[in-house]
Amino acid sequence: MKAQVHGRWARLTAFVIVLGATAPAAALQLSGGEIIGRMEQARDEGGADASSVLRLEIGSGDDALVRTVAIYRRRCGGEMRSLVVLRDPPDVSGTAVLTAARAGGRPDMWMYLPELGRVRQLNAFAQSERFMGSDLTYEDLGVMTIAGRDHRFLGEAELEGEPVYKVVSRPTPREETGRLLTWVNRATFLPVRIDTFDRVGAMVRTARFADVRDVRGIPTPFSIDLDNLESGRRTRLTLLEVDYFRDLDCNLFREERLAHLR
Amino acid sequence: MQASRLATLAVMLLMTATPVRAQLERERDHVSLAGAVSGWHAFRLHSDTPSERPSSLLDLRLDAERSGVAHLFARVRTGYDGKIGDPDERNRPFLTLDEVYQDKDLFLEVDEAFVDVFLGDVQLRVGKQKISWGQLDEIQPTDNLNPEDLTEFYFRPELERKIGIPAATLTWYRGPWTVEGVWAPFYTAYRFPHRHDRWFPPILVVPSRVDTPFGSLPIRSRYPDVDPPPRTLASSDVALRVRRFLAGAELSASVFHGWDKSPSFLATGTATLVPTGDPMRPAAPSSDITVRPSLHRITVLGADLAVPIWLLALRAEAAWVHGRFFPVAIQNRVGNDPRLVAAVRAAAERVAASGQPETIALPILPTELERESVQYGVGIDLSVNEPLSRALTGGERLAGTFILLQLLDTVIFRHDQPFISEMIEHVVGFTIRRSFRDERVLAQVKVGYNPNHGDVYVWPEVTYRITPTLHALFEARVIAGNRSQQIGEYRDHDEIVVGLRRFF
């Protein structure tokens, strides 16, 4: 089990605990690219010194795979350090991944497996594209962005009672998916919904961001639901706790300290 | 047998119990108690090897932290060990620090119990602890502080094999540098299967008779425990490691001075000759052989490296070892050893002349010899991600697969005696691991291959998550090779292990 965690978690290089308060921009004339840029910026707000605990539910009913994860982030010097610790289920509890990311370089990653009792360095480039075996990509989580897409503003609309911008994004040639349709909240610039289509135009997945709460002045979505329309599988991510500006000690973000964390 | 039944009953009760997880959390501090209870049975595939009874284990872990100030960790293990062939009732059930043969079926052990104190850039850990140095998989040449529990050969996870030692560890870190110093004041013995246990190594078995020029010599054998060294400052272990993170690579250099934790044995013996009154064969010889674990001080200088390259993680490690003893194959030579034959013949002549029985010390060839040695290894591991899987197969079915390949060499200098190992001994390790059915099933296969002698072991394991807290375990241990070698000697010990584990 822990080995699988090895593969699936380690990509959690920069799980940004979310998002940002930005000035309402309804009156502004923004391009599609600018809206997506503001969305990425909003999702990164507060992430330089933050902690959270989340519950990840993959599938539904008795077969659902449920995990509880604690995540800590801190900017230490020129590096953004992320610490991910699995708390539950108990068979993998204590598994921890530390990532040190810096601009323009390969992230450094270490993993502690309680079963192995030693910290091992990982290759960040070889880690999974998806978050802990779910259908959530790191892009869904705001961890990574893909440059080179062509964004086009489609118009203003209302979605589930919220005023939103609607943007369509054309994939880069290297991507295997088709276009993306993104609804962005006009007040917070947080995503409300992202639909992904395949290359022939059929919708393959829908991600919904909800339950936005104000935490230390930062609007934070506490719920992300993702429906994989091809497999019929649902992934639900729920934030149980989140806090910003904790003044976390950078010494916590060292590979020597990975053992016995929670 | 009564103890076995009680232990099995306890396991069954715990298996059906509602999972309980005690946890107390204040703002940033916490105390938690967690653990697992397991029960399993090994089914041997060759009826002429020692059998096992069902085993059980209760594993409790206490973790408490005062955030940023101190941390307490304790792990206690208790259960019933079905591998023990002839249980020793002394001191039962407590496992001790200075016995090699811990042949207690009912056992209780404080596996680890330590306190961490954080003082800015310095961390002090005091107590019984496991220290893991080195970068290679399973066997690390620079990892010499903790002895191992080898009562099941190497068919246990590395951390389970490792035995906690009482020690003080001081770690200082600043920027990319980390310096660790360890002082272990007492000798802690490795653990080894006793003569009647399933995993007692066949090449250590003293034959009940040996052919000599004057007939078949009956032999009685004994396997007493180690003579532990005195608890003095001079007999403590010390080690120092300096690590540096440089351009994505993790580098370290280390030195260790202390007791060698690798198993080594010394044989001594006597021959007793009694007058028979038969003029054709006036003296009847017999022999008593004692095989006792030996202790040696070693000094190890080592270095290791881990660095990501392309999609791989490359790991390398090397150590020079001074003072280690290596086993010598004497079983096939002992009956014809001229010094031994001459000593027995001379004693037989004296007994024939005097008519009085006589016991002499046998000049047995040394079973171990000290040599300088170097151990080094290199390994790569690969986690197959989705893009690589798509590139290889057009789909994502290989994504999440973990593959490890490693070569570990041991070089014995001045290889002028019939050592069991060749001058350069290779061991190739291979591991593949992946999960299926949304992580409900985890499968792993480990293979170890020694090309010098054609020895190989294959160790597949499957874990099935019946529920998130209840797992079914299936293992097989398959061994082949040369009976006179350290893997192949177990060629008749193939077995299948089936068990259940409940986490709480």
User: B402: which chain A residues are within 8 Å (Cβ-Cβ)?
Assistant: 3, 6-7
Q: Are B495 and B465 in contact (CB under 8 A)?
A: no
Of residues A3, A93, A124, nearest to B433 (C-beta): A3
Whole-angstrom distance, CA of residue A177 vs CA of residue A171: 7
The DSSP code for B138 is S
Q: Between chains, do B382 and A126 touch, taking CB under 8 Å as contact?
A: yes
Q: Is a pLDDT exceeding 80 seen at residue A147?
A: no
Of the residues B438, B446, B500, the best mutation for testing chain A's interface (the one with the most A CB atoms within 10 Å of its CB) is: B438
Confidence of residue A131 (pLDDT cuts 50, 70, 90): confident
Find, among A108, A105, A189, A176, the residue nearest to A142 by Cα.
A189
Distance, in Å, from the CA atom of B273 to the CA atom of B267, rounded to the nearest integer, reads: 20
DSSP A81-103: EEEEEEEESTTTTT-EEEEEE-T
Nearest CA in chain B to A121: B306
For every residue of B60-105, DSSP letters joined together read: EEEEEEETTTEEEEEEEEEEE-TT-SS---TTTTBPPSS-S----S
Does B446 lie at the interface with A, CB-CB under 8 angstroms? no
Q: Residue B97: pLDDT above 80?
A: yes
A129 and B159 within 8 Å at the Cβ level: the answer is: no
Contacts of A11 in chain B (CB under 8 A): 385
What pLDDT, on the 0 to 100 scale, is given for residue B492? 92
CB distance B383–A126 less than 8 Å? yes
Residue with the bigger pLDDT between A107 and B461: it is: B461
Which of B71, B133, B383, B471 to probe by mutation at the A interface, max A CB count within 10 Å? B383
Eight-class DSSP state of B17: S
Decide if A121 contacts A108 (C-beta within 8 A).
yes
The answer, yes or no, to whether residue B2 has pLDDT greater than 80, is: no
Name the residue of chain B whose CA is nearest to A246's CA: B28
Q: Give pLDDT, residue A7.
A: 38
- According to the model, what pLDDT value does residue B25 have? 46
Q: Which residue of B has its CA nearest to A10?
A: B383
C-alpha distances out from residue B463 to A3, B34, B57, B159, B439, Å: 12, 20, 17, 18, 10
Specify the residue for token string 């197959």. B384
Read off the tokens for A249: 């000690």
Q: How many angstroms away from the CA of A111 is the closest CA of chain B?
A: 13
For the record, the structure tokens of B275 come out as 């007058």
The pLDDT of residue A64 is: 83
Decide: B129 and B170 in contact? Cβ < 8 Å.
Answer: no
Query: Which residue from A6, A90, A115 is facing B402, i.e. has the nearest CB?
Result: A6
Half-sphere exposure of B67 (CA within 13 A, CB side): 10
Average pLDDT in chain A: 81
Across the strands, what pairs with B291? Answer: B267
Residue labelled with tokens 């350090």: A81
**Window from B372-376, B387-391, B410-414, B429-433 with minimum mean pLDDT:** B387-391
Decide: pTM greater than 0.90: no
Closest in A1, A116, A130 to B158, CB measured: A116
Judging contacts by C-beta atoms under 8 Å, the chain A residues touching residue B386 are 128-130
CB spacing of A90 vs B34 below 8 angstroms:
yes
SS3 of B230, please? Answer: coil
State residue B439's pLDDT score: 81
* Percent with pLDDT over 90 in chain B: 66
Give the DSSP H/E element, type plus range, for residue B467: strand B455-467
The DSSP output letter for B221 is: E
Q: Is the pLDDT of residue A214 over 60?
A: yes
CA distance B36 to chain A (A): 8
User: What is the spatial distance between Cα A258 and Cα B135, in angstroms, rounded to a whole number?
Assistant: 16
Gap from B450 CA to chain A (nearest CA, Å) = 24
Average pLDDT rounded to a whole number, residues A83-93: 88
Closest CA of chain B from A227, distance in Å: 16
pLDDT of residue B85: 82
CB–CB contact B504 A90 (8 Å): yes
Q: Report pLDDT for B124.
A: 96
Q: Which of A108, A120, A256 sits opposite B173 (nearest CB)?
A: A256
Interface contact B438, partner A, CB < 8 A: yes
Shortest Cα distance from A66 to chain B (angstroms)?
8
* Residue corresponding to tokens 């910003």: A244
Task: Give the number of residues written for chain A.
Answer: 262
Distance (Å) from the C-alpha of residue A185 to the closest C-alpha of chain B? 31
| Res. B208 pLDDT band, cuts 50 70 90 | confident
Instruction: Look at A117 and B162 and tell me if their CB atoms are within 8 Å.
Output: yes
Give the mean pLDDT of B432-446. 90
Closest-CA distance, A1 to chain B, in angstroms, reads: 6
- pLDDT tens readout for residues B20-77: 444 444 446 788 899 999 999 999 999 888 889 999 999 999 999 887 789 999 999 9
| DSSP per-residue letters across A14-70 | T-----------TTS---HHHHHHHHHHHHTTTTTEEEEEEEEEESSGGG-EEEEEE
Report d(CA B159, CA B501) in Å as an integer: 17
Judged by a CB distance cut-off of 8 A, whether residue A59 touches chain B is yes
**Residues of chain B numbered 371-390 and touching chain A (CB < 8 Å):** 382-388, 390
At A261 the pLDDT is 79
Q: How many beta carbons lie within 10 A of that of residue B131, not counting itself?
A: 21
List all residues 6 or more positions away from B342 whose beta carbon is below 8 Å from its beta carbon: none
Both tokens of A47, joined, read: 């992430």
Candidate from A10, A66, A121 with C-beta closest to B306: A121
**Out of B63, B312, B435, closest to residue A260 by CB:** B63
Q: Tokens at residue B220, please?
A: 């009685």
* Complex-level ipTM beyond the 0.85 threshold: no
Asked if B66 is an interface residue toward chain A (Cβ–Cβ < 8 A), one would say no
A123 has a chain B CB within 8 A of its CB: yes
Beta strands (DSSP E) in B120-199 are: 122-129, 151-154, 165-174, 177-184
Residues linked to residue B196 through DSSP beta bridges, in sequence order: none
Choose the weakest-confidence range: B84-93, B277-286, B441-450: B84-93
For the beta carbon of residue A210, count every other beta carbon within 10 angstroms.
14
The residue count of chain B comes to: 504
CA distances from B9 to A208, B21, B103 (A): 50, 22, 22
Q: How far is CA A132 from the centre of its chain?
A: 11
Of A140, A113, A109, nearest to A127 (Cα)? A109
Q: Which chain B residues are closer than 8 Å to A251 by Cβ?
A: 118, 120-121, 173
pLDDT in tens, A102-130: 877 778 889 898 888 889 888 887 777 77
A10 touches chain B (CB under 8 A): yes
**Which B-chain residues 15-54 have CB contacts (< 8 A) with chain A?**
19, 21, 30, 32, 34, 36
**Other Cβ atoms within 10 Å of B250 Cβ, number:** 23
Q: Give B361-407 pLDDT, tens digit per residue.
A: 998 888 999 999 999 999 999 988 888 888 888 887 888 899 999 99
Does the pLDDT at position B475 exceed 50?
Answer: yes
- Does the distance separating the beta carbons of B435 and A251 come in below 8 Å? no
Contact residues on chain B for A123, CB-CB shorter than 8 A: 308-313, 383
Arithmetic mean of pLDDT over chain B: 89
- Any A CB within 8 A of B212 CB: no
User: Which two tokens mark B430?
Assistant: 């291979």
DSSP helix/strand/coil, B402 = strand
More confident residue, A173 or B1: A173
What is the pLDDT at residue B335?
66
- Only one residue has tokens 């599938």, namely A59
What is the Cα–Cα distance from A87 to A70, expressed in whole angstroms? 7
Q: Residue B395: which residues within 8 A CB-CB, separation 6 or more?
A: B389
